[in-house]
Structure 1
Amino acid sequence: MEGRRKAAFELGLLLLLAAAGLILRHPGLLVLAIPVAVHFTSGLVLAYEERHPRLAAQRRLSARRLREGDEVEVAVRVENQGVDLELVVVEDPLPPRWTLVDGEPRAVRPLARGECLELRYRARVARGLYRLEAVRAEVRDFLGYSLWRGELACPAPLAVLPRHERLSGIAMAPRRTLVAQGTVLARRAGPGLEFFGTREYLPGDDLRRLDWKAYARVGKLVITEFEEERATEVMVVLDVRASAYPAAGGEELLDHAVRAAAAFCQHFLREGHRVGLLLYGRYLDFILPGYGHRHGERLLRALARAELGHVDVFSELSHLPTRFFPAGSQIVLVSPLAPGDQDTVGRLRARGYSVLVVIPDPLSFERGELPDSREVELAARILELERWEMLRLLLS
């Protein structure tokens, strides 16, 4: 610490002057040592008295739940509950990927007993679940001693959820459906909107479903049947393997993948389906399929904490734990797809799952980080051809 280094320097200078004065028998050197000794002693006394300042901090946020890209206003209030302090430095470090918009998260000023110091700033937030625990504080006296550094606890939770688009018109054909009504055609007659067929009228049938045109042609009462629409179970799988994302721009590409996964989760929940989530790669973050608004909030919070990572056991998509997926359900895989992953998609279909693959394009993000040159253009074309070949195998 700076104060300790300064004290050590003055102590060394004091001993050097005193030793030189005694050895050389030079009273002038001893006289020069007197102000150094006074300064050193007074600094030690003040340091002992102000070693543990009594500071208390409070933090206020303009909101506790935001969408990524929104702005949050932060106010930090530090109160001096002890003796007068000559110089106080308070800093509230911004979390990673936050952008300061207005204000200053740092203040330096004297702080008398009972006075308060306030920080006010506005920042643009990034996706994540945060708990802003503490602010950094530093206290000094006018001599440069009693340097105290520490953290003042002022916890405040903040959830920054991913933004997502509103989807529509997504067709599914899973082999298994639930009893509840939904939007998946169940290949059987029942409540629905799509025409399924006709049959002869039976006593008790709804007269509103009589087909009078058919009666005019055949002379018999005929009932129109519709294809039943039911709900199903949907598992959204978000690939967070670091190896599947480019080294340059991987975090930004993951943000787009998270938004896509969030859009599918919210869409299928609105359609009445049971939706589950699996984050695969860094760890297994699994949420059982469920319904409702609260379940949708749980899914968004899980997506908000998604981060890239690498674990050997999850390094390949072939290790996907299919035992978590209900038999015959719909799987939505959001992944840039590494080489060889298309075989896993084929095996999932062979096991009876209906698979929808959403592929964020990693080449455009990686290309944007590289300079324009003939070599980069040639490499990009080769990689693009490789991905088209992988997509061809995936579709076949």
Structure 2
Amino acid sequence: MTGWTALALATALVGVAAGVPGLLLLAVATFGYGATTRLWTRYGLSNLSYDRRLGTERAVVGDTVSLDVAVWNRKALPLPWVAADDLVTNGIEVRERKALELDDVTVARNALRNTWALGWYERVIRHYHLEATRRGVFEFGPIRLHVRDLVGRHAVTEERPLPARLVVAPRTLPVMDTGGARAPIGERRARHSLFHDPALFGGVRPFQPGDPLRRIHWRATARVGRPLSRRWEPARSRQIILVLDVQTLPGPAWEMAWDPDAFEGLCVGAASLARAALNGGASVGLAAAGFSGTSQRVAYVPGRSGPAQLARVTDLLARLGPISSGSLGDLLTWLTRRVPAGTSLVILTARPPRPFGPYLRRLSTSGYGSEVLVLQG
């Protein structure tokens, strides 16, 4: 016998003994309330479905993403009060809700809360719009479903995983043409290179010991009367690795301090350069000494060409955090073990580039092209 049933029985006995009909009616109401509460406790969440649908799983800063939330009571038992707390990572904005409540159980999660009163076999769909105002990866779920009784007491609660993810990539800006006075980014030739392109004939020079015989320009040698060798320009690479300097403030790399605006600007610059280079037919990759939601200390996308590569690069930029995992010099050394000589390394930084001089000279002597692009705040 439940508490509500015992209370109803006791009220009925008192009503009969005292001859008070009102107590009998109260006993009937108490028994009815207890019975229905027991029904909602036992069957309230059975055949109750909750569904969340995102308009897309990928967006760019400034986009609006549709979000549909549907709840369906697929049974004959009506539910007077149903609530759902749909948890989402901090930072997402809902147009129809000016402020989301911070969840008091899960860290760094907000709750999109909805309540309904559902009749039997009733389905309700609500439409929301997510404003992608910042770069990042936003996780949805779990959800907590609550069913309450007529007076608002909790009858039963259940948590369901229902995971989903929205990746918001940095926006891209047009890359201004330099007007032909300089070679395009990633196509500049190194002054010295271990590799040469036979299609880039650069003239002749005096024969030097060690030159192979096939390099001798016989016609020019016969004309001037002394041995001359062919000269070629250093190889021009269409393989570009964008090297993002995660450290945005002077000081040691291990310091957990950063400039948020500068870091976001670097991400926008990297995405913009990647898009421009890929549209030009180049092979583009990305490397950064930072954390991207994995155990790896280097965030890296190998160089590839084609339209799908832009999504890979921007996805990594969306996941990349502003805390440096190592120095820029260590990152460049790591890259030289993984990309072939002749690759152009384009360094994007918000710091003064003067300390980078030794790294750039070492890259040049190893046969890598290098450029430094400094973000102007």
Common fold: TM-score over 0.5: yes
- CA pair 279-247 structure 1, distance change in 2 beyond 3 A: closer
- CA pair 150-329 structure 1, distance change in 2 beyond 3 A: same
| Greater helix proportion | 1
Cα deviation 1:177-226 (Å, max 9, x = unaligned): 999xxxxxx69646xxxxx779xxxxxxxxxxxxxxxxxxxxxxxxxxx9
Does structure 2 conserve the Cα–Cα contact (< 8 Å) formed by 1:43 and 1:145? no
Map 1:273-312 → 2, pairs under 5 A: 273-282=282-291, 283-310=297-324
- CA pair 57-307 structure 1, distance change in 2 beyond 3 A: same
* 1:257, distance to aligned residue in structure 2 (A): 0.9
Does structure 2 conserve the Cα–Cα contact (< 8 Å) formed by 1:256 and 1:360? yes
State the match for 1:146 in structure 2.
155
1:128 correspondence with 2:136: yes
- CA pair 287-135 structure 1, distance change in 2 beyond 3 A: same
* 1:118, distance to aligned residue in structure 2 (A): 2.3
SS in 2 for 1:259: helix
* 1:43, distance to aligned residue in structure 2 (A): 8.5
Cα distance in 2 between the residues matched to 1:232 and 1:317: 23
Cα distance in 1 between the residues matched to 2:327 and 2:298: 13
Structure 1 counterpart of 2:48, which letter? Answer: L
Map 1:93-108 → 2, pairs under 5 A: 93-102=87-96, 105-108=112-115
Tell me which of 327, 349, 358 is aligned to 2:373: 358
Cα distance in 2 between the residues matched to 1:101 and 1:164: 24
Q: Which moved more, 1:291-300 or 1:157-166?
A: 157-166
Structure 2 counterpart of 1:280, which letter? Answer: A
Does structure 2 conserve the Cα–Cα contact (< 8 Å) formed by 1:67 and 1:161? yes
Cα deviation 1:314-354 (Å, max 9, x = unaligned): 33223221312322321112233489953544544454433
- CA pair 45-65 structure 1, distance change in 2 beyond 3 A: closer
Tell me which of 72, 75, 89 is aligned to 1:79: 72
Cα distance in 2 between the residues matched to 1:178 and 1:231: 10
Unaligned stretches of 5+ residues in structure 2: 8-22, 99-111, 179-183, 205-231, 292-296
Tell me which of 243, 263, 268 is aligned to 2:277: 268
Unaligned stretches of 5+ residues in structure 1: 1-9, 15-30, 180-185, 191-195, 199-225, 365-396
Tell me which of 257, 262, 268 is aligned to 1:253: 262
Structure 2 counterpart of 1:265, which letter? Answer: A
* 1:87, distance to aligned residue in structure 2 (A): 0.7
Tell me which of 161, 173, 179 is aligned to 1:165: 173
Cα distance in 2 between the residues matched to 1:341 and 1:78: 59
Cα distance in 2 between the residues matched to 1:359 and 1:89: 51
- CA pair 345-113 structure 1, distance change in 2 beyond 3 A: farther
Structure 1 counterpart of 2:145, which letter? Answer: A
Cα distance in 1 between the residues matched to 2:329 and 2:234: 35
Map 1:175-190 → 2, pairs under 5 A: 189=200
Q: Which moved more, 1:122-131 or 1:260-269?
A: 122-131
- CA pair 65-81 structure 1, distance change in 2 beyond 3 A: same
* 1:252, distance to aligned residue in structure 2 (A): 3.6
Q: TM-score, normalised by structure 2?
A: 0.62
Structure 1 counterpart of 2:243, which letter? Answer: V
Does structure 2 conserve the Cα–Cα contact (< 8 Å) formed by 1:86 and 1:140? yes
Cα distance in 2 between the residues matched to 1:245 and 1:305: 20
- CA pair 151-119 structure 1, distance change in 2 beyond 3 A: farther
Cα deviation 1:80-107 (Å, max 9, x = unaligned): 1243222111244454322222368532
State the match for 1:208 in structure 2.
none
State the match for 1:384 in structure 2.
none
Cα distance in 2 between the residues matched to 1:73 and 1:117: 17
Query: Sequence identity, in percent?
Result: 24
Structure 2 counterpart of 1:80, which letter? Answer: N
**Aligned-pair Cα RMSD in Å:** 4.2
Cα distance in 2 between the residues matched to 1:265 and 1:334: 12
Structure 2 counterpart of 1:317, which letter? Answer: L
